[in-house]
A and B are shown apart, each in its own frame.
Chain A
Amino acid sequence: EAQVTQNPRYLITVTGKKLTVTCSQNMNHEYMSWYRQDPGLGLRQIYYSMNVEVTDKGDVPEGYKVSRKEKRNFPLILESPSPNQTSLYFCASSLTGAEYEQYFGPGTRLTVT
């Protein structure tokens, strides 16, 4: 089954404790991206990647890191999480870019206390 998976689905952590949210797709997509969703603000893009070793900033990259060492994986790293990063995070992938249909993962709900 073609899908985007994220882990963990739920995470509660404390300020400053490094964490990684994993994202994997099995569709051989070149384009992958991360979004955060906050009430009243819709989805905002954090980072995107056009292919292996190619990443670029989205709308709200501050406080986040990403890497793309393999085509199928695109982890989101929070080196020192803060409470304002409490949010619902989505990973998505598409064939080659933003202009194509995006396939979304199920989401990761992160709470930073």
Chain B
Amino acid sequence: SQQGEEDPQALSIQEGENATMNCSYKTSINNLQWYRQNSGRGLVHLILIRSNEREKHSGRLRVTLDTSKKSSSLLITASRAADTASYFCATDGQTGANNLFFGTGTRLTVIP
């Protein structure tokens, strides 16, 4: 399987702190995406970073990509209780097939 992995599996922080989660993947990619999932609900797209980009920002989110290490990180700044959710990275295959591979997720808990 080409499934990626997030690290840590779970993260608990105080409101106002920053949260950083990491994703490692196995094959060359075109893009890497981050998604958020509230408990048992559908995933919501957060941000997409292309393989030729190194960093991208969207509001309180900052994503970095290191293709040489096959890894990405998602930083959420000034976290809020409403950020409590699971976060997943997803990668496509560069081979031309249209599979999408999700990581195992990081469960973030933000304590008010």
Contacts and interface: CB of A to CB of B under 8 A. Distances in A.
Interface of A: 4, 31, 33, 35, 40-45, 48, 50, 56, 58-59, 88, 90, 92, 97-107, 109
A101 B35 CA distance: 9
Interface residues of B, number: 27
24 contacts: A33-B100, A42-B3, A42-B102, A43-B43, A43-B88, A44-B3, A45-B102, A48-B100, A50-B98, A59-B1, A59-B3, A59-B99, A88-B40, A90-B42, A90-B43, A97-B92, A98-B92, A98-B99, A99-B30, A99-B31, A102-B35, A104-B43, A104-B44, A106-B41
A105 B97 CA distance: 23
Contacts of A107: 40-42
Q: Which residue, A31, A42, A59, A107, has most C-beta atoms of chain B within 10 A?
A: A42
Interface in B12-50: 30-31, 33, 35, 40-45, 48
Contact of B99 (A45, A104, A106): A45
B102 A48 contact: no
A56 to B, nearest CB: 7
B70 to A, nearest CB: 17
Contacts of A99: 30-31, 92, 98
B42 A104 contact: yes
A105 to B, nearest CB: 6
B103 A101 contact: no
Contacts of A59: 1-3, 99, 101
A48 B43 contact: no
B40 to A, nearest CB: 7
A62 B13 CA distance: 40
